[in-house]
Amino acid sequence: MKNNILSILLLFYTFPLIAQDIEIKDLKTLNAPGFQILDIAPNTIDKPSNPKAFAASLMSLTSSGTALPKNFALEVSPYWYFKNKNATVSQYLNIKEENRSNSYTGLFNKMSMSIASVYSDSTSGSLVKNTNYIAFGMRTNVFTYRNEKQNQKLRTALVNFSERVIKLRPNQKDTDSLEQELNATSNRIRKLYGELMAESNDSLKRAINEKYINAITRKTLIKKKLDDLENQAPDLLENNIKKDTLSQNYLKELDDLPLFQVDAAFAYSEAFPENKTENKHFNRSGVWINATLNAFSFDHEELNDNLTLMMCSRFISDNISNENTVNEFYRQKAFDFGFKIEYSIKELSLSFEYLKRDYSNDSNLNSERRVGTLQYKISENLYLTGSYGTNFGSDSTLFTLFGINYGLGKSELKSK
């Protein structure tokens, strides 16, 4: 995949050049931590991304009128609902500013919370037959590092993009003219009000009052015209930017991935045998850290490609069922460690991951996961994912998956 942010488009702006609101679009949603803790996600190790305000994943959706929903994931990012009104792209993308590094701003900015559900109709890996699993998860970005060359490149791209947007703003001449007229009318209203308060002659006072009312009416009409132009601006400006080669080049520069980053996640799951709430019991929980190194690009300008290396370490508390029993379980602690390599070129992404799981008290439960994944971007927020390989489990369970992934919601930031 090209990058976590493939295009940053202007939605609307309030102040020229200095503080513009822009909309971050095309944000790919991740594998939900709930799917990952159940070992059914396309990838256990996922390349960092920027969460949408709201996202949904549908995986082999089925429905048979049961009480609990099956095979879905919902993910929400609190940042887009509680962010500071002056939040900037630099803070969100961890671009170093003059007075701050922004290396740790992802702790809240990139935080997301999710709920996932999956139904297993057969015993496979860690999943038990005829059981529905509900999981809750949270993920966040702990640390992001860009070298000075990357920071300078992105800062320059943001400045150039902001300046270009001013030139592309629709009806700019009409807006400037109306704003000048509005200022002149406001000054005239203040002057007439002063004359009105000072005048004692009734006939002159009526004449001034008439001019005063006409000026207020004129001001209202000017503000309405400005509002009409402002309401037209977002769509027209977005279209102008899409057609403008310079703007697209600046946005492409903002696609550059950071050199290194660390992300953390937590998930907790419960099992519902026969999909009944009265059968509920603890299934598994885990906390893990992923470290990502964006190694290099063969030809970023032409191919828009990237090679990424990732390492994962995860601590798990697992509820293992006793052999030859249905409802007897015992706790085991396990540790996962592995890597993932991913190559993306334009809309296509290819990856392979390997993880080894070791149980602290029972080596017979140890297993490995080897999965290759192909992902293709259809549109800004729609992705198709296919995975194939062997999953965790003593029998090296065959793992195949086809999924649809899409994101919803607008995400606006200041481009200061």
Provide the sign of the torsion angle of the four alpha carbons 49, 304, 6, 59, taken in this order: negative
> With contact defined as beta carbons under 8 Å apart, do 405 and 6 qualify?
no
CA neighbor of 259 nearest in space, from 368, 70, 67, 103? 103
pLDDT value, residue 371: 92
| 326: CB partners within 8 A, 6+ apart | 273
Q: CA-to-CA distance for 306 and 250, rounded, in angstroms?
A: 18
Architecture per CATH, domain 5-146+261-414, reads as Beta Barrel (2.40)
pLDDT value, residue 396: 66
Between 206 and 397, whose confidence is greater?
A: 206
| 180: CB partners within 8 A, 6+ apart | none
pLDDT value, residue 350: 94
pLDDT confidence of 360, banded at 50, 70, 90? very high
Q: Which pTM value belongs to this model?
A: 0.71
Q: CA-to-CA distance for 280 and 296, rounded, in angstroms?
A: 47
Q: How far is CA 337 from CA 13, 294, 311, 389, 398, in A?
A: 46, 19, 8, 17, 20
The domain limits of the chain are: 5-146+261-414, 166-248
> What are the pLDDT digits (tens) for 276-328?
888 899 999 999 999 999 987 777 667 778 899 999 999 999 988 777 666 77
Instruction: Indicate the SS3 state at residue 282.
Output: strand
Average pLDDT, the chain: 79
> What are the pLDDT digits (tens) for 195-250?
888 888 888 888 888 888 988 998 889 888 877 776 666 677 778 888 888 888 88
Residue 345 clears pLDDT 60, i.e. is over it: yes
For residue 358, which phi and psi values (nearest 5 degrees)? Answer: -115, 125
Mean pLDDT of the 41-52 span: 67
Which of 228-237, 292-301, 352-361, 382-391 comes out lowest in average pLDDT? 228-237
In 244-315, where does DSSP find H-type helix? 245-253
DSSP result, 46-101: -------SEEEEEES----S-SS--SEEEEE-THHHH--TT-BHHHHTT--BTTB-
pLDDT value, residue 180: 87
Q: CA-to-CA distance for 87 and 85, rounded, in angstroms?
A: 6
Between 64 and 191, whose confidence is greater?
A: 191
Which of 52-66, 117-131, 209-223, 384-398 comes out lowest in average pLDDT? 52-66
Dihedral angle of Cα 144, 148, 152, 153, to the nearest 10 degrees: -70
Give 18's Cβ-side CA count (13 Å radius): 2
CA neighbor of 109 nearest in space, from 135, 136, 139, 137? 139
% of the chain beyond a pLDDT of 70: 78
Mean pLDDT of the 358-369 span: 91
> What are the pLDDT digits (tens) for 85-133?
778 888 888 889 888 899 999 899 889 998 888 888 777 666 778 888 9
205: tokens are 């006072």
